Structure formats: C-alpha cells, structure tokens
C-alpha cells in the first residue's frame, strides 16, 4: 500500500509544480487554489507512504517522479529544451528511481 501512496503523492507533486507555472507566481486565483490543494494532497499521501516505506527511499522516489514528470510536461507543453544531454540526465533520474525500488526490502 505504501508504494501506491507514493505514486499518488508523486502525481500530485507533478500537478502542483505545473500549477505554479500556470498560477503566475500565485497571482491567478483559480490556478493558485489548484496548486495549494494539490500541494497539500501531495504531502498528505507522502505522509501515508512513509508509514510503510523508509523516509529516505520514499522521499527520493517522490521527488524523482515529480522531477521527471514535471520536466517531461515542460518539454511537451512549455517548449522547454529537448537537448539530448538534458534527456540523458532525466533518464538517470529514472534509473535511480527504478534502482531504489528494486533494492527496497520490506
């Protein structure tokens, strides 16, 4: 169950990070409310996940998925750099996430 919580928390992390962009520095009301709500949900599900998974592992995976998801969204929708070196470093984060999951012992 802990891993499901971390995945849900990560999806909300991606959502609030992207929401920050759309909120224009928290100056747009609807987008700011969305950002704050998804931020709170992200932390809530992370707090549930760390009941089952060591905090270091949970936090690293949560931030890793959040970083990869947010960077990918930026590439696809904000015309951010598609430089091969950048893509390579994003892949390294994915390798780290998979490695942490594979080496996790319950």
- Residue ranges, the chain, pLDDT below 70: none
Nearest to 32 by CA among 40, 43, 24, 42: 24
Judge whether 19 and 70 are in contact, CB under 8 Å: no
How many domains would you assign to the chain? Answer: 1
pLDDT at 106: 72
Domain range spanning residue 7? 2-103
pLDDT tens per residue, range 16-45: 999 999 999 999 999 999 999 999 999 999
């Amino acid at each position: 169950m802990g891993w499901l919580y971390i995945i849900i928390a990560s999806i909300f992390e991606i959502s609030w990070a992207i929401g920050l962009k759309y909120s224009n520095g928290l100056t747009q009301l609807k987008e700011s409310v969305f950002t704050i709500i998804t931020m709170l949900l992200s932390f809530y599900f992370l707090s549930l996940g760390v009941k089952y998974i060591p905090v270091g592992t949970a936090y690293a995976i949560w931030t890793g998925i959040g970083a990869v998801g947010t960077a990918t969204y930026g590439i696809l929708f904000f015309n951010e750099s598609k430089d091969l070196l950048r893509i390579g470093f994003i892949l390294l984060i994915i390798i780290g996430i998979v490695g942490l999951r594979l080496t996790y012992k319950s």
